[in-house]
Structure formats: structure tokens, C-alpha cells
Chain A
Amino acid sequence: MSCEEIAKLIPLYHYGELSPEEEEHVDEHTHLCAACTRVMEQQRTLAAALDRRALEVPSHLLEDCRADLMAAVQGGAPRAVHTGKGPWTLFIEAMAHTFGSLNRLSQPIGAVALVAIGFFAAKLTNGLPGSVPGANLASITNPGGEVYSTVRSVQPDPESAGRVVISYDETRRCLLKGRINDSNIQKLLVAGMYEDNPAVRGESVRMLKNQCSSGEVKETFLNALTDPNPDVQMNALEGLKPLAGDPQVRHVLGQVLRMPANDAVKMQAIELLAAHRDETIVGLMQALVQREQSNSVRLKMEKALREMNASIGTF
């Protein structure tokens, strides 16, 4: 290949867009050609200079954009109260409005709630109003007596002609209010982090962000690092910040670097790992830095290695 042809391939080489054969041609040529090696160096200098002009989006701008959009979507009128919060937050907050009905609550309502929220609610029995005076759980209600039914089977009644037998499940919607640091509330929020609905997972992780000292919350946050939603992952990383020195946390953060994750998530994981030097992580980053596809992540990794007084790459 001529120098002209190689020069055309160099930007693609830099961005990992060549086939293995083409890469080999470039490697072989630049190994012997000083002029093309210089072009390759120029490409790297240019890329590094361009990386420094990248702008981060101010968080208030993102929030403003979201609020404007949702106002426009809802018919041009601004939301009555734009909270930027998802259904789980609204759910928790909405319970304040039902607080007035607390006095009417009694043990039977508590029993209904146990059916509705299942396994996790079973652990709440001791915290229900009326069970333990002064407990952190403020209220658990079934506003409007809402009941949802799912019909499981319908068949003619074998014992009586003209009648039917219907089997159905009944779910009652309950509202629960309590402090974030209450262990029972935390159990429900942890359950929320395993919900299918990403909005519920997102709001649950945001609320638990400062509660990572609890072992159960920590475990759930570590699981959340593999959540398909980057917003959930970012909030889980934020919550794990105080535990950046914990070996178990560091092990999982190392796994995040190995998997195909969102760039922002990887960069945040690198930041947490760089706060404490350990040889395993240094070795891992040195192995990954060369083959990292994203420039931002690669630069972040290089910076982390420098901060940990380690060389960039293995030799």
C-alpha cells in the first residue's frame, strides 16, 4: 500500500473502523515508514485536543428541557406541579393526601394491605399503625376501597345446571407512607428496584441513594449496576460512592468496566475505583484501556491510571 492509501486509513484505524486485515496493513506500513508514523501521531494529538473541548450538559438544563417537553405534551399548559418525579415518587407523596383517613384505619385495613403487597408487606406487620405505637410507618390505606380482579378460569358449575364457577384473583391498591430510613420502607423500596417498570426502579434507587450502609440496600445497588436503564445504574453508582473502598463493591465495579455499558456509567465507575489504588484494578484498567472503543472512557481510564501512579497499558 502507498503512503497516500495508508493516510486515508489512519483516521479509520484510530476509530477502530478497519477490518483486521486493513489494520495489519497499517501496522506493517507505519512500522517501516516514518512519515506515516508522524501522521498517526498527528491523528492522536488531534483527537486528544478535541476531547478537551467536549461540553457536559448542565443538570438544570436537562431538567428544564424535560419540564418544558412534558408541559408541551400535555397540551401546551404547564404542569400544575412539575416535580420531574416518576410514578413511584408521586405514589409515595400522594399518600400525604390520604393521611386524613388515618384515624379511620384499623387492623382490618392492615390485613388487606398484607394481601396487596404480598411477601414484603408480611414483614411490615409489626410496623403497622396500631400494632406498635410510635412506629415510623405513618399510614397504610386503601383509598376508595379500590379492588382489581383478574379472572383465572370460567366453567359451568358441575353441581348445578345454568350456573357458572368463576375463579379470580383480587388485588387491592394500597398507599403506604413512612420515613426513608425506616427499615420496612426500605424493604419496599428494595422491592421496587426489582420491578419491571423502569420508572419504579429509577425512583426507588434515587430514594435509597443515601442508605447504602444497610447490607440489603448495598446488595441491591450492586445488582442495579447491571440494570438495563443507565439512569438506574448512575444512581446506584452515586449511592455506592461512600463504599468505594469496599472489596465487594470494587469487584462489581471492575465487572462494570468489562461489560458493554453506557459511557457515563463506565466513567463514573472508573472515578469510584480511582479513589483507592489496588493492584487488581490497576491491572484490569491497563488491560482494558488499549481496547476501549470510547474515547471519553479511554481518557478517563488513562487519567485514573495516572492518579493511581500506574503506567498506561502493559508492556
Chain B
Amino acid sequence: MTPQVDGLIRAAQAGDQDAFEQLVRTYDQSVLRLAMNLLRSPEDARDVYQEAFLRVYRNLHAFRFDCSFHTWLYRIVTNICLDQLRKRKVRKEEPAMVETSEGPLDRMESFEEDSAHADPERSFWNRELKHRIEEALQDLTPRERMVFELRHYQGLRLRNIGEMLGTTEEAAKNCLFRATQKMRAVLGEFT
């Protein structure tokens, strides 16, 4: 934790709202990116953001600097996201449209390869690959999905991920292994 973040936390704990706002701004972009990529829905990501930082606001007085603020915050965020993913597993649904800088976009189209337009065969192959990837991701358990997201997209170390999820590094390693195994199996001939 940098001395500056430390100072912001202490000031926010003492009731300084500007410090709280600055603290939020230090971390909120990565929190929103995590929620957006996991849930593939701007509305759900917005809910996660709001609930996570309100929990931080209400419980900041209890933060005792016995772990990094980043870990503490991500424990809150990952718990909320996992709840959302579990609810979705029950409902078996996933939003089809996502918000991008160019407006709403079908999530399948959001990773169209640029050069694919010139080559119909390649374009078809890419569409099929994307379809398989979405299928593979939906087959993961919420916890596998979370570990994979935090390691692959957020670049966090498995030791930190274990700490955030209240488990061991070994358990996080197993989750990552299972996640990649499942995806490789679903992708089959595409990889």
C-alpha cells in the first residue's frame, strides 16, 4: 500500500469525503472493468460498482491495515460478482448485448478479428471460435470463472487471488487448471 493510499484511507476513515472520492477513483476503473468483463452487462457492472463501494464506505472504519486495501476491496467486489454469477447459473442466462464506446454491440461481435472481413472462411472460423469460447466460459463454475478472470484479464498473481477469495494459492492453481482444461476441451480443433 503506498503512503498516499494509506493517508487517503485514514482521512476517509476520519470522515473526509474528498479523500474517500479520491480513494474510489484510485481503484474504481479496475473494479468496473472486472465486473464488466465477468458479467458482460453494463447495468450489472454498474450495480456491482455501486454495491461494492457503498460497502467500502460503510465498513471502512473497520479496515485495520492488516492486509492491503486492494485485497480488502477485491474481497468485497469478488463476493458480489460471485453472487451475480451464481444467480445467473440458476437462471441460465447471459446478456447478449454489451455497451461499447461505439454503442451497444452483440457480445459475439465484440471480438471480431479485423482481418477476418477480407477472408470469408477465416471469418466463419473466427465466429465459430468465439461461439465456442462463450460456451466454454459458461461451463465454468463461478469460482473457476473468477479465478480465470482475475489471472488472465486482471493479471493478478494466484497467491493474491487465493487471499481475495479466502482460499489457498494451491486451490487457486487447481481452479485455473480446471478452467483452462475445460476451455481447451470445448475448443477442441480450434486450438
Contacts and interface: CB of A to CB of B under 8 A. Distances in A.
B187 interface: yes
A55 B24 contact: no
Interface string A61-94: 1101110111011100000000000110000000
A45 interface: yes
A11 B17 contact: no
A46 B176 contact: no
A56 B53 CA distance: 20
Contacts of B187: 42, 46, 49
Contacts of B24: 66, 69
B18 interface: yes
Interface residues of B, number: 55
A42 B187 CA distance: 9
A72 B54 contact: yes
Contacts of A54: 37, 111, 153
Contact-residue bracket for chain A? 35 or more
Interface in A20-56: 39, 41-43, 45-47, 49-50, 52-56
Contacts of B177: 8, 11-12
A56 B101 contact: yes
A43 B36 contact: no
A229 B4 contact: yes
B26 A52 contact: no
Given A15-B151, A69-B24, A198-B8, A62 B32 contact: yes
A45 B2 CA distance: 37
Interface in A202-231: 202, 228-231
Nearest to B37: A55
A57 B2 contact: no
Given A46-B191, A61-B45, A264-B29, A87 B18 contact: yes
Contacts of A39: 184
A57 B21 contact: no
A58 interface: yes
B100 interface: yes
B155 interface: yes
A17 interface: yes
Given A42-B191, A52-B113, A293-B155, A69 B49 contact: yes
A231 to B, nearest CB: 6
A66 B54 CA distance: 11
Nearest to B57: A73
Contacts of A229: 4, 26
A282 interface: no
Contacts of B22: 86, 198-199, 202
A295 interface: yes
A61 B130 contact: no
A271 interface: no
A87 B145 CA distance: 39
A264 B22 CA distance: 18
A150 B32 CA distance: 42
A183 interface: no
Contacts of B32: 57, 61-62, 65
B26 A295 contact: no
Nearest to A39: B184
Contacts of A61: 32, 36, 42, 45-46, 99
A263 B154 CA distance: 9
A55 B49 contact: no
Interface string B148-191: 00011101011000000000000001001100110110010011
A50 B152 contact: yes
Contact of A55 (B17, B98, B157): B98
A300 to B, nearest CB: 13
Contacts of A268: none
Interface in B1-54: 2, 4-5, 7-8, 17-18, 20-22, 24-26, 28-29, 32-33, 36-37, 40, 42, 45-46, 49-50, 53-54
8 nearest A-B pairs in the assembled complex, by CB-CB distance: A42-B191, A52-B111, A53-B111, A11-B180, A294-B155, A45-B191, A65-B49, A228-B2
23 contacts: A8-B177, A15-B152, A15-B158, A41-B191, A46-B183, A46-B184, A46-B187, A49-B191, A50-B133, A53-B130, A55-B110, A56-B33, A61-B36, A61-B42, A61-B99, A64-B46, A66-B28, A68-B46, A68-B50, A73-B57, A87-B18, A198-B26, A228-B4
Given A42-B184, A50-B152, A66-B28, 5 more contacts: A8-B177, A43-B180, A59-B101, A69-B24, A198-B4
